[in-house]
Structure 1
C-alpha cells in the first residue's frame, strides 16, 4: 500500500509534465494547444528541446544525412537538438509504444517516429499517435499536394493528419548492364531469365520489406492485376484460391535461385552484399536511387543500372509521426517541418546524401527551388523521374500484407 501511495502522485506529475510546458513567462502551456497555436509560438516553445527521432538505422547514407546535414541546421536555426535513435525494425517502435501505452507512461522517449503501411495502421488503431498535426506545418501547407492519393492514404489507410510525408519510394530491379543488357520486362520474362541463369537471382526472405514487395509484384502479374485487391482482404471470399498462381510461380523458380532456393538472404542488406560481390546478378530496392548511391560508394559496379517491369512497379510514401506521449512535441513539429523544407528535400534527393524521392509537389515550389531540385544529378543508374512516375502501381492495403507473409512461410519457405 505504501508503494502505491507514493506511485500515484508520481504518475500524476508525469502526466502533467507530458501535457504541458512552460512558456517564456513560466506559465504552463497545454501541449494540445500546439495543434492550433501560432507557428511562431511553436518555434518559441521548441527552443532548447531535445527531439529523439526513432527510425530504422540500417543505412549509412540515411544516417549521415540526418546526423551531418539536417540535425546541425535544425540546431542552428531553432536551438532544437535532433537525436537519431536507430532501431532494427519499425515494428520494434510500435511494440515499445504499445508497452508504454499499457503501462500508462506519459513522458515517452520517442518524439518522432518513421513509419508507414501496416505499422501506421497498427499505431493508428491503438491510439499511439498524438493527433492531427500536419495542418500546423507551414511547409506541408505550402508545398505538399495534400489531396494526392499517396499522401492522403498510407497503404489504403486514411492518414487523417497523423503523419507527414517525408519521401516517396518506388520499387526497382537492379542489374549489371554488362551481364544482362536486356533485362526482363515482366514476371514471365524474369522466370525465363532465372532459369537461364541458375544461381544468379534471389530475393530477401519474408517478412523483409523489399522481399515482401517482390512477392506482391508476382501476385499482381500472375493473378490478373492489382485492381481486384484494392478493397479489404476480408471482402474476397476466394482469396486463398486467388493466391495459388503466385505460390506456384515462386515454387517454380525456387530450384534455380541462389543456393537452389534452400535458403534466402535474411535482409536486403545481405542480398545487396551478394550482388556487390558478384555472387548474384540482380538485386532490388524500394529506393530508385540506391543503386546510384552504391555505385558512388564503389560497392556496386559502374555498369549497374535499374529497370522497371512493363506493367509498372509498386510505389508508396513514407511518413513521420509524433507519438501520443512525446515529451517534446513543439520540437518535433519544428523538426518535421524542417525535414519537409525544399532545402532538406533537395539534399535528400541527391544519391550522394540519400537519393530518396521528394514528397513535395514540384509545381508548388518557388522557381529557384524547382531549379535546384531539377539540377540534382541522380546518376546514370537512376531512371528518369518521368519514367518512374509513369509506371507506378498502388500498394495493397495493410491487411493483405500479413496474409501474404504468413502464406509465403507455409507455401514456399516450408516446401
Structure 2
C-alpha cells in the first residue's frame, strides 16, 4: 500500500464538501475548468494509485495490464492497490482527514458504490464535478436512475459509473435440471432439499445481497426497499423477512449452524458438489469458472423471473488525492469505448458496459452487440428485463447489522 500521505505532483486541495454546489477549493476549480488535453499534460510523470477489490485475477489483469499500458503511453504510472474490501480505502481516506492530511493522500482513484460511497460523500471526502468533464461522459446517460443515484444516494457529480452488475443464481443443470425460477420456489426448494443450499454470512457482499433479496421478496418488501429508510419501515418489514430466514436456517448447509465466510467459500462448496447453488453479483464468474475447470460444464446462471437486485459500481476521487489529473485520465480511459469494450469481452472480464449504445457511433455500438457470450453466463437481455433496483445504503446497512445481531456471525 502507498505511504499514508505523500506530496502531490499537481495542485492540491485544502478541503472539499460533499456537494458540488458547495465552495470548491481554488486548485480543484482550476482543474475542473482546464481543457481535458491540458489535464493529460499535467498528469504526465505522475503515478495514479488505484484502490480496488483485488480478489479476481481477471480484473487485476485488466487493470494492471490493459489500463497500465495505456496510462504508460500517456506518461503516467499505474499503481494498482488491491484491497480485500473497499472499506479499507474508505478508512484510509477518513483516517487521513482525521489526521489533518488534507492533500497528498494515498488514494487517487477508488472503485466504489453503496455504503462506502455514502460514507465518503456525507463526510465531504470526495472531489466532485469531474465526471462530466471527461470526453467519455458524452456517451453516458446521466439521467438513468441507476447512474444518477448509488444505492439511493444522489451521485451529484461525485463519482463516475464504471460497471453494471446484477445478482444471479447458478446451478449445475446436470444435478438440478429444472431450477426454481422465483424466490418463493427457491425457498421451497431449500426446505425440500436439506443441506444443499448455503449463503455466505454478511458482511460478505454477496451474502448480504442474498439477504436483501429475501427482504425484497416478502409482502411489502420491494415497495419498502424502494423508498427512504426509516426505523418504523424497517421494524415493520424485518420480522417478516427474518421469519423466512429463520425457517430455512435449519435446512441450510450444516444445518445453518455455520455459514460460509465469503463467496469464495460458497464457490468451493458448489464446485465440490456439496451444495447445488451458487450466486454472485457478477454472472461472468460462472463462465470463467467453467473455462478454468472449477465449475461443471453444465453450470448455468440465471435471474429469477420475479427479479434480482441490480446496481452500478463507480469510480471516485477522494478530496485529498495526490494526483487528481492522473486519476481523471485513468477514469477517461476506463470509460472510453475501447476501455468499456475491452472490459466487456468475455475472455477479459465480461462486464456489461455503462455506456448508452444509442449515443455511440453505429460501428462502436455494433462492437458491443456482437460480443459473444459464454453459455454459463445469463443473457444480458434476460437480466435487464428482471432487474430490481437496489435498496438505499441506509436500508442495506440496517439489514446487515440486524442479520449479524440475530445470527451471531
Query: Given the two structures, how large is their TM-score scaled by the length of structure 2?
Result: 0.92
Q: C-alpha displacement at 1:388, in angstroms?
A: 0.9
Distance 1:79 1:248, change over 3 A: same
Distance 1:19 1:125, change over 3 A: closer
For residue 399 of structure 2, the aligned residue among 383, 404, 414 is 404
For residue 179 of structure 1, the aligned residue among 144, 168, 175 is 175
Residue 228 of structure 2 is matched in structure 1 by 232
User: Aligned partners of 1:30 and 1:192: how far apart in 2?
Assistant: 59
1:298-377 alignment, distance < 5 Å: 298-377=293-372
Runs of 5+ consecutive residues of structure 1 not aligned to the other structure: 1-10, 21-28
Contact 2:9 2:46 (8 Å CA) reproduced: no
For each residue in 1:246-271, what CA deviation from the matched residue of structure 2 results, as whole angstroms up to 9, or x when unmatched?
11111111111111111111111111
For each residue in 1:4-56, what CA deviation from the matched residue of structure 2 results, as whole angstroms up to 9, or x when unmatched?
xxxxxxx9x98996349xxxxxxxx9343111111111111111111010111
User: Aligned partners of 2:158 and 2:8: how far apart in 1?
Assistant: 24
User: Aligned partners of 1:16 and 1:87: how far apart in 2?
Assistant: 26
SS of the residue corresponding to residue 232 of structure 2 reads coil
For residue 18 of structure 1, the aligned residue among 12, 21, 30 is 12
Runs of 5+ consecutive residues of structure 2 not aligned to the other structure: 15-25
SS of the residue corresponding to residue 305 of structure 1 reads strand
Contact 1:52 1:112 (8 Å CA) reproduced: yes
For residue 131 of structure 1, the aligned residue among 104, 128, 131 is 128
* CA-based RMSD: 1.9
Contact 1:200 1:279 (8 Å CA) reproduced: yes
Q: C-alpha displacement at 1:351, in angstroms?
A: 2.6
Contact 2:287 2:375 (8 Å CA) reproduced: yes
For residue 120 of structure 1, the aligned residue among 105, 109, 117 is 117
Contact 1:223 1:243 (8 Å CA) reproduced: no
User: Aligned partners of 2:328 and 2:401: how far apart in 1?
Assistant: 37
Q: C-alpha displacement at 1:223, in angstroms?
A: 2.5
Q: C-alpha displacement at 1:396, in angstroms?
A: 0.7
Residue 278 of structure 2 is matched in structure 1 by 283
1:5-154 alignment, distance < 5 Å: 18-19=12-13, 30-76=27-73, 78-105=74-101, 106-140=103-137, 142-154=138-150
1:219-258 alignment, distance < 5 Å: 219-234=215-230, 237-258=232-253
Query: Given the two structures, how large is their TM-score scaled by the length of structure 1?
Result: 0.91
User: Aligned partners of 2:125 and 2:372: how far apart in 1?
Assistant: 39
Paired residues in the alignment total 392
User: Aligned partners of 2:132 and 2:233: how far apart in 1?
Assistant: 41
User: Aligned partners of 1:371 and 1:81: how far apart in 2?
Assistant: 32
Structure of higher CA gyration radius: 1
Contact 2:9 2:322 (8 Å CA) reproduced: no
Distance 1:14 1:173, change over 3 A: closer
Contact 2:10 2:323 (8 Å CA) reproduced: no
For residue 153 of structure 2, the aligned residue among 152, 157, 182 is 157
Distance 1:220 1:30, change over 3 A: closer
